[in-house]
Structure 1
């Protein structure tokens, strides 16, 4: 594999993996370590990895390392919404009351999101927080694009069901 391809992989995929790990609640230091370990492992086994499946391989290695870290620390995986991005999306003309209401709504969304099936939670995160396309999600998870669409539909349905049960009584 060429040096150019290795650099491209590191810049594109490792950045994405780092952001994902941070959203899962991984500390910056741990996320950097996991990304570095994943890249090292990719370099070590580069000849045995199919180029078409490289993205999903990298992602799986990094996620498995994160889950190992969680098991070691007896922690659960919880998604978070970046507070700064959340604030930026507010318009300047909004009142403080609106901002507080938005924070409360964010907390409600996170509560539901963290109670959704882990696979669905990840898919919702990839699609709506990271803005990845169905194709990109499929490549990351090494699944068919149509399967991604089906799972996302089910994820949205599960989210809506849980939302209705909890907040629309």
Structure 2
């Protein structure tokens, strides 16, 4: 491995980016390709990437590649819902309700601005700290907190509409 970069850290970063890309709408194969291509670019530019900025750099490159791909293909993204149905009727009903809930959450997220969607996914899906999010998005920590509070309010308002229809 390249000096200053730990293989375990690189694998963890690549895994987080993959899951994040899938959450924001990339299909699993495209997400794998984007992560692989981003890592290839990291190898090419490794001398210019400070080790403490590797994660942010990879995240930015991968996110930009995702948006480039989305612009090129103009695909409508969708969530792949797991289907592990069993014979237990109560379990099936619970799973269907959970899938319906996931679909509603996804639909609300897709209606939100990209920055709000990214902030909510990074905080609540990937469990990143404010500091980590600020680093990844190249924002000040206070700005992340402010935008995240607005994103939560926006999400609650839109999500609440599903239950009042």
Q: TM-score range by the shorter chain?
A: 0.7 to 0.9
Segments of structure 2 that go 5 or more residues without pairing to the other structure are: none
Q: Distance in 2 between matches of 1:168 and 1:52?
A: 47
1:54 matched to 2:54? The reply is yes
Query: Which of residues 145, 152, 157 in structure 2 aligns to 1:156?
Result: 152
1:125 matched to 2:124? The reply is no
Q: Distance in 2 between matches of 1:102 and 1:9?
A: 33
8 Å contact from structure 1 (residues 56, 141) kept in 2: yes
Number of aligned pairs? 162
Q: Describe the superposition over 1:84-139 as per-residue Cα deviations: whole angstroms up to 9, x where unpaired.
A: 7xx8xxxx9x5543443333332222221211111111111111112222222222
- Cα gap change, 1:110 to 1:137, in 2 (>3 Å): same
Normalising by structure 2, we get a TM-score of: 0.81
Q: Displacement of 1:152 after TM fit?
A: 0.9
Query: Which of residues 137, 143, 146 in structure 1 aligns to 2:139?
Result: 143
Normalising by structure 1, we get a TM-score of: 0.79
8 Å contact from structure 2 (residues 27, 77) kept in 1: no
Q: Describe the superposition over 1:53-103 as per-residue Cα deviations: whole angstroms up to 9, x where unpaired.
A: 32211111111111111111112456x47637xx8xxxx9x5543443333
